[in-house]
Amino acid sequence: MDNHTYDIVIIGGGATGLGSAVDAASRGYKTLLIEQHDFGKGTSSRSTKLVHGGVRYLAQGNIKLVREALAERGRLLKNAPLMTSTQPFVVPVFSLWEKFYYSAGLMLYDLLSGKLSLGKTRLLSRKKTLELLPNINPQKVAGGILYYDGQFNDAELCIELANTAERYGATVLNYTKAVGFIKENGVIVGVELEDMLGAAVSGGEVAGSGDVARESDGDSGELAREPIRKKVSCKCVINATGVFTDAVLQMDDPNADTLVYPSQGIHLVVEPKFFRGDNAMMIPKTDDGRVLFAVPWQGKVVVGTTDTHVDHIDLEPMPLAEEIHFVLEHFNRYTNASITKEDVLSVFVGLRPLVKSADSTISSILSRDHTLVVSQSRLVTITGGKWTTYRKMAEDAVNNAVFVAKLDGAGSGSASGAASGAKKCITKDLPIGDLGAARELAAQLIAADSSMAAFMTPAYPAYAIRVVDVVVAARCKYVRTVEDFLARRNRLLFLDARAAITLAPSVATILQKELNWTNEEREAQLQSFILLAQQYIIH
């Protein structure tokens, strides 16, 4: 066992887990967060990138959920101003009734955001709608409604949350998996961890160490790894593992009920020539009741999404042919474009951790609210919700962890954080990020060696990645693999998978030096990335 005891161990390095680490560490608890792969590798890098209240939940009458999400939207934009922005949306309408119905809903949506409004909802004439959405199919358009929501880079925010948690003293480890619980009298007192890279991981106190034999197995590009196991003791564990929630619940109790109903959503990324301008389009109700978005993001356009129940849970879910067909078909129907699979630069897929309900099996109407369960072993499980509400989910999870583990020595009080002497949650106004540390390091590196400022390859001038960007990502943004950089520090894999493959050798060469890889390791890294990137291309 590790020789110190954590107050709280958090399993899962997505929005919910990283938010919980920030919350717990900033309250002053000794905190460890472990993520089996890279931070954000799960659902949290695969969202539509919207910081939103969820307009469509208004139609389900869930005003409380929308109001809470709108408050969180406002807080996130305030606490992470450099990582978020305001995005105008246009909803085209095709009848007077639609204009009345959607404008009433979107006015209410804005009203519910109160002082945290991002801009006034406005009714648009047909002429103005066509002007704001230059690529819309004009047929039958009767007008539109303009409203505002937030936008962000989800994977970037994951890393900034990890940085923030570390700033408050947490240990955050990627590539570290929880593989078992240690119990005394049925109560969890420790976690068994496995280092998934089979070698030392950066920074943390519990990182594995020592020389581990690494050999290439030749064909697959994967390296044979020797697992390093380690045990840590703790007073409480938070299970924030998204669609993997049930696996962790059952690691605690093989007979535990399952909670999660995974629902897959895909996004297609296309060039902006197919959807010009700065405004996003939202179609609230397609033929089968789904929502369709086309949103400008990082110089491209993200089109999606779907809501398909799946039984198989994977860190790299695959798009279904019918999902691709649905998105292409509907984008072409509502715009004057006629894109085909060949026009798609990247397809990315995520799994929503929806929470099962006894009376509904249609995933598009399952609750998007979050659920918290405390097991007999005192395992605190938090799941459901959405990116936008991660902070509130984290607050609830930590309140419950504090309560069940009596972290403040309090036997009284309640899980809402009212225990006497309980350390209060401070994240409502907490600035998120490394406070400029990465930028400063980049400036120092360039001052010492001007070749650091060079762009990596002229092949894709649109994707100007400098040598220094990779070096800084390795030194202070937890990059361990080529994929970490090209998928989640820089978003090239999600924006243009073919370009990411082209740039991968240069990234691998810089990381080889930074992370002391052998030639064999560099090659294995490269091959494994290229194999993965093929899944983001529609063949």
Ligand X SMILES: Cc1cc2nc3c(=O)[nH]c(=O)nc-3n(C[C@H](O)[C@H](O)[C@H](O)COP(=O)(O)OP(=O)(O)OC[C@H]3O[C@@H](n4cnc5c(N)ncnc54)[C@H](O)[C@@H]3O)c2cc1C
Residues that bind ligand X (CB under 6 A): 11-17, 34-37, 41-44, 46-50, 52, 177-178, 240-244, 248, 265, 305, 315, 350-353, 385-388
Sign, Cα dihedral of 254, 260, 261, 264? negative
Using CA atoms, how far residue 55 sits from 23, 126, 285, in Å, is 27, 22, 12
CB of 177 to ligand X, least distance (A): 4
State the burial class of residue 457 (Cβ atoms within 10 Å of its Cβ: 0-12, 13-18, 19+). Answer: middle
- Nearer CB in complex with ligand X: 135/381: 381
Structural tokens at position 310: 């799946």
Q: State the Cα–Cα distance between residues 188 and 426, nearest whole angstrom.
A: 27
CB of 79 to ligand X, least distance (A): 15
- Nearer CB in complex with ligand X: 310/426: 310
CB of 431 to ligand X, least distance (A): 20
- Nearer CB in complex with ligand X: 503/532: 532
Q: State the Cα–Cα distance between residues 110 and 55, nearest whole angstrom.
A: 10
- Nearer CB in complex with ligand X: 44/346: 44
CB of 393 to ligand X, least distance (A): 8
Select the residue whose beta carbon is closest to ligand X and give its number. 14
- Nearer CB in complex with ligand X: 47/335: 47
CB of 219 to ligand X, least distance (A): 26
- Nearer CB in complex with ligand X: 130/155: 155
CB of 392 to ligand X, least distance (A): 12
Q: State the Cα–Cα distance between residues 159 and 202, nearest whole angstrom.
A: 14
CB of 502 to ligand X, least distance (A): 27
CB of 514 to ligand X, least distance (A): 23
Q: State the Cα–Cα distance between residues 59 and 218, nearest whole angstrom.
A: 55
CB of 322 to ligand X, least distance (A): 15
- Nearer CB in complex with ligand X: 92/385: 385
According to DSSP, the residues that pair with 352 across neighbouring strands are 263
For residue 255, the SS3 value is coil
Amino acid 276 reads R
Q: State the Cα–Cα distance between residues 534 and 303, nearest whole angstrom.
A: 20
- Nearer CB in complex with ligand X: 161/524: 161
Name the pairing type of β-strands 31-34 and 171-173: parallel
Phi then psi for 338, rounded to 5 degrees?
-135, 70
CB of 264 to ligand X, least distance (A): 7
State the burial class of residue 318 (Cβ atoms within 10 Å of its Cβ: 0-12, 13-18, 19+). Answer: middle
Q: Give the count of beta carbons closer than 10 Å to the beta carbon of residue 452.
A: 20
DSSP state of 62: -
- Nearer CB in complex with ligand X: 196/405: 196
262: region left, alpha or beta (phi > 0 left; psi from -120 to 50 alpha): beta
- Nearer CB in complex with ligand X: 191/510: 191
State the burial class of residue 39 (Cβ atoms within 10 Å of its Cβ: 0-12, 13-18, 19+). Answer: buried
- Nearer CB in complex with ligand X: 310/437: 310
Q: State the Cα–Cα distance between residues 7 and 16, nearest whole angstrom.
A: 18
Dump the DSSP string for 22-46: HHHHHHT--EEEE-SSSTTTTGGGS
Containing 301, the helix (H) or strand (E) segment is: strand 300-304
Structural tokens at position 151: 């936008």
DSSP state of 319: P
CB of 171 to ligand X, least distance (A): 14
Q: State the Cα–Cα distance between residues 124 and 234, nearest whole angstrom.
A: 57
